[in-house]
Structure formats: structure tokens, C-alpha cells
Structure 1
């Protein structure tokens, strides 16, 4: 009888080690191609010769951690790198155990001392200029980040204040900071970041950020001005229109009487021009605030359907609520007619899309016990409301007219130089900034809430987070442009060939790539490295990112032989 041979699983000794490369090599390659470490170290000054990890290297390490999508806290960075090929990612001589909380904290302190906004802007503008990515369109937006715990504000001047404010995280119970962000051009590259007090208002901070960016542009001799694009917080009579010395495109707040009237105008009174994807536009002239400007009324069929469905759900809820409220109101006895009238007015104000037909009636009773005498007088003991209600169809028609509509405004008056269609396209690109905030708030990103105990370090950390966004967006832009230039594709989640994959998906495709290190001769420090799980598709992806990425992944050998010295 022939017996099957059974293999016994063995536990590898220290002579065989496995390190997780995954997508981290791509992130490291982009950082290296951009010269991030060198640029940061040049700004922050030469580090102490005894220092193993410079501030620039520490920032790159935090970027790798942030784009690791493991939600690993900063103080666990050494643990994050414990199973990674650290020297391939961060350079010779850098070990995981050197990336301590003290090392990273020291780097954050140096960034804060230099000035987080200034440092980011200097490096980002330099990269944008050298990469040919500087564009005239600057998109400005802001978001809030919640903070936990107690913080020592200290006595330092010009430190952000952690305060309660309008929470875009829907956590009004927590203090917060506000991040103002400017992204630029088709690459959606962040050019400016600024951390503001938790109670900062966009209506004020937007104008302050624009002024600071323009001042910085003058300092670095950038002559081409930006065209500023932002949401309705930018549009104000006392700031934007009073100044009006730069090009702007923004959304008009519908709280303005003129804007409210325009969005509610019936269709038959508007000269619509059809656009792709169910959109229509109509242009108008305006001199609101004493400034000549163009208004563009925009209608979106998709937005209309969505907003109409929301309105119908709201109406159904209010219909039920109003019926119950009027029933209770009808059974309530008021001491005087004025009180009943006041309660009725409050009900009408609360439900403006309904017509309430009502009257206040006195409640008269005989005051004596027993059977009343014929013709006996009654005494008014109170008042009650008798009512009926129905939907206010004219008001609903005005509401429906406004659904799916919004107004854009610009001070660029020449339609030949700046067509209406370009206005709409430019404003749609505002989603670049909004996507950046969604990226920074992704629960698998570096942090989902700020946990550091120093406002200075919080400010510096948010600069690092914005660098993560910069690296991610530039990597994605480079890949997509390369695919188009070479007429190549990569499979998406449905295995369909596409030329616009997201970097998040590319990162997932590279999961599982490992480097196996085999010690050949410990006495001479000879080691053999083998990269595993490196399929043809994964090699193709890495090659799209250029020579630096290929070297990190071993597609271009750094040394002639595959035997290295330890």
C-alpha cells in the first residue's frame, strides 16, 4: 500500500522574516518623487547629527501611517511600522523603534514653531510650480473637527482656541477646530490650509483666508491671480461686494429677497437653455450691493426629484402632526380671546405650507346649579379654537418652483471670455474641496477625531493630514493622466476596464504584497530578499508610478545582485 506523504508545518526562525509592503511603497515613492522630506528639512533647519529621524522623515512616516487606512493612532506609529520594510519606505538607517511618540511630537512642535500654514503653503506652492500643476481656479471651503478631553491653551500667542461652534460633525457637545482649505486645479491639489478657532464663521474666515493667500502669492512673486470659487458664505454685501478687487464665483444665498424671488419664478417666465444631464440655465444681470455682476439660475432635474421627494415626506409628516395639534388646540380652554388667537397664530407660523381656517368661539355656561330658568343669562367661562386645515397650494407651487434650483454669481461680466457653461462647470468642481474633507474624515484615515493634548500640536497634525490629502490626490491625478496618455486601463471593483480608478481602490489591489528576507550568512550579514504575491496586474500598477516606485518594489534592482548585506 502506498502512503501519502504528510508535511509538517514549521515555525520560521529569525533567519526568515516577512514584511508587509502592500501599497505603502507607492505612497513612499510619491513622497520621494515630490522631495517632501528634503523640502521640509530645508525649511525647518538641519537636524542634530545625533538625531536618527529628522522632522521631514517623521512627517513622511506620519503620511504613511495616515494613508495606511488602519485608523492607527499616532502614538502607535512604531507599532504600525513593526512589520513594514522601513528602510525601503523611509530611507537607510531608519528603524521602526525610532518612530516613537517623542520623535513625532518633537517634529510636530518644530512645525508649530515654524508656522503650520506657512510651512504647508511654501512646500505646496513649490511642488505645484515644479510639477506644472498651478491653476487659476482656487476652491475654498472649510469643515470642523471635534476634539476630546482637556487641553492646555497655555500663554502662547497666536494659538488656535478650541471652542464650541457650528459643528459640521453634528457634535455640538464637543469643542472643535475649523480647517480652512484651498484646493487648486484639476489635480485637486491642496495649496493652502489654515486651522482656525472652533467658533470661526465662514462668512468672516473665507475673506481672511483669501487675503492671506494673496499676500503669500505676492511674497513668492506669483503674478497670476486666482479666480476664487466658494459656497454662499463668501457672498456678502459688507465684505465681498464692498471689496470686489479679485475675481470670484460663488453661490448666492437664497435668504436674499431678490434671490428667493428668482428661484421661485415660474418656468414659463424663464428663458431656459438646456444643458447635458438634465440641467438648464438662465442668465440675469444684477447690481446687488451696488456691484455689477452676472447671476446664473441653474436647474437640475436630479436635484429637483430628490428635493421634491423630501418635500413630500415633510408634508406628509406635517399633515399628521398638524391634525393632532389642532385637535388638542380645539380641546384647550383659553382664559381670553387674545390667548386663543396667539396660539392659533403660532400654529400657522409653524406650518406655513398649510391654510388653517379657524375661529375663536366663547364657551358660555350657566353659573347656577340645577336646571336653568328660561332666558337665564350665561357667563363666558373661556374660549376655544374651532378649525379646519388644508394644504396651501399656491405656497406649495412656489416651493416646488424653487426645488432643484440655485443661483451662481460672478463679477466676470464678459460672457465671451467666461461663458455661462464654464461658470457651472467651475462651480461643480467645488466638490474637489468637499471630497477632500470627506477623505480627511474617513474613519479609516489617520484619525476620526483629534486626540492630541496641545492646540499647537493639533494645528501641526492637521498640516500633516493635509499633506496626506496632497499625496493622495497627486498620486491619483498622476495615475489617471498616465493611463490616458498611454491609452491603458485598470480594472475597477466590477472588473471593468477604466482610466479613472480611485487611489483607495488601487491601494486595495496591492494588499498582500510582502517582502521575505532570508538570512543566508549571519556572520557576513548576507540577506536575500524576495517579493511575494506580486502578480502581473500589481507589477503593471507599480510601473505606472515610475522608476522610484519600481525600485522600492524591486522591479528595478537597487544593486546588481539580489543578495544584500544586513
Structure 2
């Protein structure tokens, strides 16, 4: 086998050309550079180009750290992806850090919102439904907070990563419409509470909408953290749909109501709904009780496992309690009450008995009195069937609430469908936390750069979701399909799968005339299916992959 010399080089195109094409079609680099100001003429890589490079890295699914970006691009056709004159060696840690600093100086949330709203407006993707959610990202190491008042604080808080030992930041995200396009991102202190931050985020988004003259208000959709008497219901000046916390007495009573007392309306896929009126917090609103057969089976199985565990634990605990000697009756009663509180789904029938003994040595005299030396608990237990029935009634159920009172304008079925779309935000967080994504933990040197990086990560989600939405809409419009993982024709493939289908596409560069710097480029491993996929993404993608030649015979100058 012959080893190729420097006159033949191979570069990995894979799916990166699609990502670059979407960024280019959206004008992402130009929009960012226009906001951040003209770069120094001596600068090879502008901030906008650096962001696109980080997006390509993030959507490369290679788990390469940002400081290895130059290494990531070492075997890629960089100029095709990022533009003429850009080389892999120019994408240094300093270059990327400088871009992150410029983003932080401008304001990460403001910059993202300005660009995202502009894209959504120009692409016709603005929708009335805004889904709000948040998640936490763990951070490692020590960080210099500095003296800047607006810098986020890395703190311990409720960790959705299940890492309470680590400090964290919280990302608040708003996604919009069927494309699940992120419109707003905000990085918050690590100990931020959704019950407060959700309302603050909504207020800031509405203020931004007024600044850019967007007249159509959003309908805000969020989980139960939005529902609060002192904030949401006290204000009640925008349209909202949220889940009612089952910690409320009225909500707990409703979800435990027996089936025969509810006028259920059957829905597809084993769901049922029933509507109620409520004036909780002094605000007239609609409550929709929802039942899911699938959720019921899952939650019932979980409850049965929990009962079996508690049954065994309680039996052992009561045995030990029965062999414990208490100094007074009050102590024994207190221990028994604690046991009942710990196992609320069991009835503990018990009594406290005194322990009487003869205190003198030897055989006691006839009629000698016994002295009480302690107390013990005698008990037996059984499952609390009425309490279990109430618990089972609540399984598979939840309550939605809205301040839109007109059922004809906003039917119950639409309420349920809109809330189910809340999974768009949740899927976005799963995407950002994918271990093959850009980072699995935040490692940058300062909170300012962390905040800027979170903006770049959200742009990755924006590009991914829009690419997926465009492809699916194109397939439907053209009545076309692509094979899924089972080789079944579908019209809703994921971009993750499309990226895998394009894996292995390479560009081979052959030096024809070194003296004149003439190079011929040939794209390889470019099957008919892969060409079909690229064509669905339009002319920009076709040019990057060579389906629309830029120069005759693909002969270029070095």
C-alpha cells in the first residue's frame, strides 16, 4: 500500500457543511458582527466567525473542549465552513476567549434576543406560544467573581444535575412555536428559584418586545413554578397556561376525587379531561383535570414498589420499637407518633404498656408490689386502604390552569396540546446536557465567560432546531421521505440521525501544479442518499458540498 505525500490531503466534511450552511443562511456571523461592532482590521477571526466556529464545534458531537477548537478544525475544510482566509490555527483559545469577552461586554441575553428575534421575524417563525423553563449546569473549580455588579454568582442551589456538592449556574430559556426556536436565554445565579425567576424573565422579555415594537403578546406556558398567588395571580396582566401545584389544598382534593364524581371526556391515547371553574387567589380561571392511562400505570407501579419496601421497613422498625424500653410513657408515645408520620399509608394499631418488675433480689414475697421500670410499645400494622385509594385516585392526574376563560376561543383540547408542547424546552435542555455536546460541565475561567458560553450553547440549540424544522417542513412540502434508523421512510427524522448519515464524507485535495498553486478538490463517500439530503437544505449547502460548482472543474488556487 502506498502512502500519500503532501500533494494529496483529505479533509473531513461529514455533516459540518450542513451546520455551516444553516448559519450562513441565517446570516448569523454578519448579524453578530453588526451588533458587536467592526473588528480590528488586523484580526483574522471576527467575533461572529468565532461564534460560528464554536457552534460547529458544539454540533460536532465529538466532546471536544473549546480550548481544543483549533485541533477540532485541523482536518476540516475550514475556509468552506467559515469563509475565505480563515485557518484552523487562527482559532486559538485567545481568539475564542476574546469573542466571549466581547459578548459578555455587550450583554449575553440582549445579544441573543436581538439576533434570535430578528431571525424569527425574517423567517416567519414567531408564534404566540412561548414556553419557559430552566435548568442548572454544574461548575468546577474556583472563579474570581470580581467587582462587577452584573456578573452572575456561582452558588450552591437546587441541582437538576443531582450534584448538590458543586456550585452551579441556572439557564432560563424561552422557546417559541412549532420550530421550538429559542428566543430568549438568561443565565442566573446558581441559587435562583424558578418561582421568582420565571416572573422576572417574563417581565424582561415583555420589556424587550416593547423596545423592538413587537405588538403581539405571548401566551406564556410553564410548569407549576409559575403558578403563585403573590406573583402570577397578583399581576394577571398577560395570558398564561401552567400546571397547578398539587401542594395546594384545593388541587390536592381535586386530583384525589373518585372517578365516579368526575364528568370525564375521553381523549386520544388513553387520556381523559374534565374542566372546572376556579377563583383561587381571587382570580377567575379555568382548571383542567387531566388523566393519562400511561402515566397512571407507571405511577401505580412505582407506588406498589414503594409500599412493598415500606411494608418490610415498617415491620422491622416496629419490632425494634417493641424491644425498646422507654423511661416514660410520653417518650414511647412520641416515638410511636414519629413512626406513624414516617409511614402515612399504614395504620399502626399500638398501645404503650408499662414494664413492672420486682426490684428486690431473690424470690419475691407473696403480695409484694411491682414497680414500673419503663414502658414499651406493643403494635401491629396494616395498609391504610382508604388512604391508598385516595393516593391511587391521584395517580396519572394533574391540573392545568389558564386565565383564558372563553372555551370556544381556547378549547380544553388546545390547552392540553399546548402544555404538552412544553417538552420542546425540556428537550432543549436534554440536548444542551448531552455528554457528546460541547461541554458536560462548565470549565471557563470567569463567570462572564460562562455566561457568554451559555449564549453560544443556546445558539447551537437554535441552529439545530431550525435545521431540523426546515428539513421536516421541506420533506412534507415535497412529499419526500428519508430512512430512519430502521430503514423505514419517515418525514420527521432527527438532525442527530441526519448528522450520522453524513458521517464519512470527505474532501480530497490534490495538488496539480505546486508552482502555480493549483489544487483540485474531489468530494468522496458522497452517495445518492447523502446528495439528496444536502439538496433539501438549499443552494448554500449545495455549494459547500460541491453540488453547485464554484469554479470550473473545481480547480482552485492555493
**CA offset digits 1:459-488 (Å, max 9, x no partner):** 000000000000000000000000000000
Task: Return the offset for 1:563.
Answer: 1.1
SS in 1 for 2:553: coil
Q: 2:197, 2:388 → 1: CA distance?
A: 36
Q: How many Å separate the matches in 2 of 1:458 and 1:30?
A: 25
In the superposition, the TM-score normalised over structure 2's length comes to: 1.00
Give the Cα–Cα distance (whole angstroms) in 1 for the partners of residues 235 and 535 of structure 2: 50
Is 1:426 the counterpart of 2:421? The answer is no
Deviation of the 1:84 alpha carbon: 0.2
The answer for unaligned runs of 5 or more in structure 2 is: none
Deviation sequence 1:410-442 (CA, Å, 0-9, x none): 000000000000000000000000000000000
* Partner deviation per Cα, 1:17-40 (whole Å, 9 max, x = no partner): 000000000000000000000000
Give per-residue Cα distances to partners, 1:537-564, cap 9 Å, x unaligned: 0000000000000000000001123211
**1:10-67: CA deviations, max 9, x gaps?**
1111100000000000000000000000000000000011100000000000000000
The 3-state SS of whatever aligns with 1:534 is coil
Residues in 2 aligned to 1:560 and 1:531: alpha-carbon distance in whole angstroms: 15
| Counterparts of 2:379 and 2:228, CA distance in 1 | 43
SS of the aligned residue for 2:179 comes to: coil
1:552 aligns with 2:547: no
Distance 2:149 2:331 in 1: 55
Task: Output the CA distance in 2 between the equivalents of 1:485 and 1:209.
Answer: 36
The two structures, once aligned, show a CA RMSD in angstroms of 0.3
Q: 1:499 aligns with which of 462, 482, 491?
A: 491
Moved more, 186-195 or 363-372: 363-372
CA distance in 1, matches of 2:473, 2:116: 20
- In structure 1, C-alpha distance between the alignment counterparts of 2:552 and 2:30, rounded to whole Å: 27
- Partner Cα distance (2:340, 2:62) in 1: 52
What are the superposed Cα offsets for residues 373-412 of structure 1, whole Å, 9 maximum, x if unpaired? 1111001000000000000000000000000000000000
1:199 shift after superposition: 0.2
Structure 1 segments, 4+ long, off by >3 Å, are none
Q: Distance in 1 between matches of 2:468 and 2:377?
A: 65
Q: Distance in 2 between the 1:237 and 1:559 partners? A: 65
**CA distance, structure 2, for counterparts of residue 424 and residue 451 of structure 1:** 40
Report the alpha carbon displacement of residue 509 of structure 1 after superposing the two structures with TM. Answer: 0.3
The correspondence for 1:86, drawn from 78, 83, 97, is 78
After TM superposition, the structure 1 stretch with the greater mean CA deviation from structure 2, 366-375 or 235-244, is 366-375
Q: Once the 2 structures are TM-superposed, how far is the Cα of residue 302 of structure 1 from its aligned partner?
A: 0.1
Instruction: Note if 1:397 corresponds to 2:379.
Output: no
Taking the aligned partners of 2:481 and 2:470, their CA distance within structure 1 comes to 14
Deviation at 1:174, TM superposition (A): 0.2
User: In 2, distance between residues paired with 1:155 and 1:247?
Assistant: 39
Match of 1:293 in 2: 285
Shift of 1:254: 0.1
- Paired residue secondary structure (2:269): coil
Give 1:224 deviation, angstroms.
0.1
What's the offset of the Cα at 1:453? 1.3
CA separation in 1, counterparts of 2:554 and 2:356?
104
Query: What are the Cα deviations for residues 141-168 of structure 1, in whole angstroms up to 9, with x where unaligned?
Result: 0000000000000011200000000000
Q: Distance in 2 between matches of 1:444 and 1:21?
A: 18
